[in-house]
Amino acid sequence: MSNSNAAREFHALHQNGLLILPNAWDAGSARIIEHAGAKAIATSSAHARARRRVGDSRTVN
């Protein structure tokens, strides 16, 4: 799927009421959320920073 198609699909999820995005902390939780039927999954930038031991003021590469 192209980025523009993905963006249109994601935008469409917002059109029929509230969009709730479950927040996955790792691949396992993302898989569980996917199997539960979520249309979209958020990621945790805080968790990514914590795993890399990078504080809020630094960029994660």
**Is 51 part of any domain?**
yes
In the prediction, which pLDDT does 61 show?
55
**Is 40 part of any domain?**
yes
Q: How far is CA 1 from the centre of its chain?
A: 17
Number of structural domains found in the chain: 1
Q: How many helices (H) and strands (E) does the chain have?
A: 3, 2
Answer yes or no: pTM beyond 0.75.
no
List the one residue out of 27, 11, 31 whose CA is nearest residue 19. Answer: 11
In the prediction, which pLDDT does 60 show?
53
Show the domain range for 30: 19-61
**Is 9 part of any domain?**
no
User: CB of 60 within 8 A of CB of 48?
Assistant: yes
Q: Would you write out the chain's pLDDT as a tens digit for each of its 61 residues?
A: 788 888 888 888 888 788 888 998 888 999 999 999 998 998 877 766 777 766 666 555 5
**Is 44 part of any domain?**
yes
**Is 10 part of any domain?**
no
**Is 4 part of any domain?**
no
Calpha distance 20→31 (Å, rounded)? 17
